[in-house]
RNA sequence: UGGCCCAUGGUGUAAUUGGUAACACUCCGGUUUUUGGUGCCGUCAUUCAAGGUUCGAGUCCUUGUGGGCCAACCA
């Protein structure tokens, strides 16, 4: 147990302050409140990690509450997908709740508000109501129905509820202040009538509560102490509190809403509408395309739950606008996989390498360490023979001092194998290299302990035996957008910044051990990057998705 | 035009609540290495600006500048 002084973010400061004044540690309760109208993305992941992380830190319950007040947009399919994603991230909710569980209570409270003269039925069109709302700089005007008799409001509200009134003919509004500086306080709509089937309540209800009327009261019903949301809800806080005042009993916990800045990731977009466009216009293959910033997309890309959680924790939380560079995310997946992923050899851009002094037709099984970062990872056997494949860019006929790879007259080590020396090349009519010939030092076998095997050579190459090679499909993914912040340009549509090279599909040649892998298995292609087996793989054709390349300090030197 | 929120290195956060700028990422050097990976070491800010209060200000006050949010029967 270390006693290091940890620094707190502003959310934790709020909780600590409450803990030292008004709240007991056992009072604490949080919630994650998604609307089931789409798939969760990396932004939600941050919020999930924040709320559930707080639950873990304070040993407090965290409810999963679906904010399902709009039957026009919400579906069971999304409920299921959201639950799957949260579980995959590794979090457990205390209780699964739905705002629709509270429709009756909300209705009863609303009736009471009407009776108290604090709410009224407005029978105007939405356009008229919008016009009377005023603007941020000018006050609104009262609805002609604002002072309609309580009995009349009660009766109309009843008709709305029963569906005997036409859909959309009336709304219930809170009677607050049409001249408030806060637009949300200008008699906000509490209920609208919608004659649509709801994914849970079916056709029982013809009226549905609005977000503001629902959210705070739901927090109150669940006795949530801290209701964290993003900054754009800050103006809603006044209304959140006003609604709470109408039902609050002071022997109960009074929830408080506090706001944090949503965390934006560079080189992607995250709004549901924009993500939907990427799917609809065929830029990606679906919501779980490995280039999508959805949780399911990241999962298919090869990201681990731990890497996403560590990412969320490490970027912290604040109140200012931000744009977090994807390199933060990439760092976290590399860090996680570096410890967990077995190293394997796969050649992506092959050129034939012939070892002239190696016996024809012989196969030698070499021992290869699975992961030098993990002592318990064990080892495997890799076939070696006279004819190999190496990467085309691992050879140059002539090279300068900075080039550590194979060239004529120079030596390199074949990983887990022998030291070889470049001897000659064979070219086709166009001058392309079709074959490289080399000789090997039979005493230099890796791990043999001989003096020759201990020799230091500058370069080490990965390789694969040509006759044993397993062809695999490899999908090389890159960032989806060429711009750090594609959707904040005033004049340009985010679609203009799509990276035309975000996916390249090639055939790679893998060492035979890879045929044992299953979907979602993650490996490091030695010297290349981290890859994951895609779910589209079949028993006789394996597909790999590139999660992220290894850092490459050679690339920069080579470009000079 | 009004109200509210925000402002710390290239990026994201921190600073014992007024005590002399910390952590991570990136970048660039160096070192280790049978992955040009990993690891290790090092360089990169006086805190938007100008005033003020104070022995002392990133923390408090004033003004300015810049950015964000606010007019859905969405959440």
Q: Look up residue A28 and give its two tokens.
A: 């604490």
Catalytic residue among A83, A254, A258, A262: A262
Give the Cα separation of A465 and A382 in Å (integer): 9
Closest listed residue to residue A51, CA positions, set A36, A33, A38, A39: A33
A182, two tokens? 């806060």
- Going along chain A from its start, the domains and CATH numbers come out as 103-210 (3.90.800.10), 351-461 (2.40.240.10), 472-558 (2.40.240.10)
pLDDT score, position A489:
87
Largest CA distance in chain A: 103
pLDDT, one tens digit for every residue, chain A (560 residues): 233 457 899 999 999 999 999 999 999 999 999 999 999 999 999 999 999 999 999 999 999 999 999 999 989 999 999 999 999 999 999 999 999 999 999 999 999 999 999 999 999 999 999 999 999 999 999 999 999 999 999 999 999 999 999 999 999 999 999 999 999 999 999 999 999 999 999 999 999 999 999 999 999 999 999 999 999 999 999 999 999 999 999 999 999 999 999 999 999 999 999 999 999 999 999 999 999 999 999 999 999 999 999 999 999 999 999 999 999 999 999 999 999 999 999 999 999 999 999 999 999 999 999 999 999 999 999 999 999 999 999 999 998 889 999 999 999 999 999 999 999 999 999 999 999 999 999 999 999 999 999 999 999 999 999 999 999 999 999 999 999 999 998 888 999 999 999 999 999 999 999 999 999 999 999 999 999 999 999 988 999 999 999 999 988 878 76
Is A272 annotated in the active site?
Answer: yes
Cβ(A543)–Cβ(A302) below 8 Å: no
Q: Is A551 a catalytic residue?
A: no
The reported pLDDT for the residue numbered A150 is 98
Q: Cα A541 to the chain's mean position, in Å?
A: 28
Angle formed at CA A551 by CA A384 and CA A415, multiple of 5 degrees: 15
| Alpha-carbon gap, residue A414 to A356, rounded angstroms | 15
Token representation of residue A152: 């009349």
Count of beta carbons in the 10 Å neighbourhood of residue A539: 6
Residue A325: both structure tokens together: 């560079």
A473 is catalytic: no
Burial (0-12, 13-18, 19+ Cβ within 10 Å), A74: buried
CB A185 within 8 A of CB A176: yes
pLDDT tens track for A232-246: 999 999 999 999 999
The secondary structure of A391-440 as a DSSP string is EGGGEESS--TT--SEEBT-EEEETTS-EEEEEEEEE-TTS-EEEEEEEE
What CA–CA distance (Å, rounded) separates A307 from A337? 9
Nucleotide showing the shortest C1' distance to residue A213 CA: B75
Quote the distance between the C-alpha of residue A520 and its chain's center.
16
User: How many CB atoms are closer than 10 A to CB A409?
Assistant: 10
Say what the pLDDT of residue A560 is. Answer: 63
How many Å apart are A490 CA and B17 C1'? Answer: 41
Closest CA relative to residue A417, chosen from A349, A341, A358: A358
Q: How long, in residues, is chain A?
A: 560
**Cα gap A419→A491, rounded to integer Å:** 58
d(CA A517, C1' B54) / Å: 68
* Strand B: positions under 7 A of a protein C-beta atom: 1-8, 10-15, 17, 24-28, 34-39, 67-75
Question: What does the DSSP assignment read for A24-60?
Answer: -GGG--EEE---SSS--BHHHHHHHHHHHHHHHHHT-
Q: What is the spatial distance, in angstroms and rounded to an integer, between the CA atom of A232 and the C1' atom of B6?
A: 13
Cα–Cα distance measured from residue A234 to residue A53, given in angstroms and rounded to the nearest whole number: 22
Contact between A549 and A529 (Cβ < 8 Å): yes
> How open is the CA angle A216-A220-A221, to the nearest 5 degrees?
120
């Amino acid at each position: 147990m270390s006693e290091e002084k940890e620094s707190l973010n502003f959310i934790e400061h709020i909780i600590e302050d409450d803990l030292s004044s008004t709240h007991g540690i056992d009072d604490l309760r949080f919630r994650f409140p998604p609307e089931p109208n789409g798939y969760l993305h990396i932004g939600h992941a941050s919020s999930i990690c924040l709320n559930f992380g707080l639950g873990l830190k304070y040993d407090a319950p965290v409810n999963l509450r679906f904010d399902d007040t709009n039957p026009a947009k919400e579906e069971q399919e999304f409920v299921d997908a959201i639950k799957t994603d949260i579980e995959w991230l590794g979090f457990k909710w205390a209780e699964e709740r739905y705002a629709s569980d509270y429709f009756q209570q909300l209705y009863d409270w609303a009736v009471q508000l009407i009776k108290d003269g604090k709410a009224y039925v407005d029978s105007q069109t939405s356009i008229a109501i919008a016009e009377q709302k005023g603007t941020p700089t000018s006050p609104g005007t009262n609805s002609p129905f604002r002072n309609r008799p309580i009995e009349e409001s009660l009766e109309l509200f009843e008709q709305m509820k029963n569906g005997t009134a036409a859909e959309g003919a009336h709304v219930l509004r809170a009677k607050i202040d049409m001249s408030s500086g806060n637009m949300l306080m200008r008699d906000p709509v509490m209920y609208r009538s919608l004659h649509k089937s709801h994914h849970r309540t079916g056709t029982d209800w013809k009226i549905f509560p609005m977000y503001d009327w629902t959210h705070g009261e739901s927090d109150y019903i669940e006795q949530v102490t801290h209701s964290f949301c993003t900054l754009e809800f800050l103006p809603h806080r006044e209304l959140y509190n006003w609604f709470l005042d109408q039902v609050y009993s002071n022997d109960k916990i009074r929830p408080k809403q506090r706001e944090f800045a949503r965390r934006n990731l560079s080189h992607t977009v995250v709004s549901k509408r924009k993500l939907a466009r990427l799917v609809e216009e065929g830029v990606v293959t679906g919501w779980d395309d490995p280039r999508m910033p959805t949780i399911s997309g990241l999962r298919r890309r090869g990201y681990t739950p731990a890497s996403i959680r560590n990412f969320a924790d490490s970027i912290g939380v604040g109140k200012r606008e931000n744009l977090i560079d994807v390199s933060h995310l990439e760092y976290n997946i590399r860090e996680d996989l570096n410890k967990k992923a077995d190293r394997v050899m796969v050649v992506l851009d092959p050129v034939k390498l012939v070892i002239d002094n190696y016996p024809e037709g012989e196969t030698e099984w070499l021992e290869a360490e699975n992961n030098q970062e993990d002592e318990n990872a064990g080892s495997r056997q890799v076939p070696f023979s006279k004819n190999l494949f190496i990467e085309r860019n691992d050879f140059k006929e002539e090279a300068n001092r900075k080039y550590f790879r194979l060239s004529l007259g120079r030596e390199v080590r074949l990983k887990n194998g022998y030291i070889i020396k470049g001897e000659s090349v064979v070219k086709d009519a166009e001058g392309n290299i079709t074959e490289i010939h080399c000789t090997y030092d039979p005493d230099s076998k890796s791990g043999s302990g001989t003096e020759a095997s201990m020799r230091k050579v500058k370069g080490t190459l990965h390789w694969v035996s040509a006759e044993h090679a397993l062809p695999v499909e490899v999908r090389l993914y890159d960032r989806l957008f060429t711009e750090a912040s594609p959707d904040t340009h005033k004049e340009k549509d985010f679609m203009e910044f799509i990276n035309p090279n975000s996916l390249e599909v090639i055939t790679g040649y893998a060492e035979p051990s890879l045929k044992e892998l299953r979907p979602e298995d993650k490996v490091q292609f030695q010297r290349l990057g981290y890859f994951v087996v895609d779910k589209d793989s079949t028993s006789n054709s394996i597909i790999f998705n590139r999660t992220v390349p290894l850092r490459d300090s050679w690339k920069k030197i080579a470009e000079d």
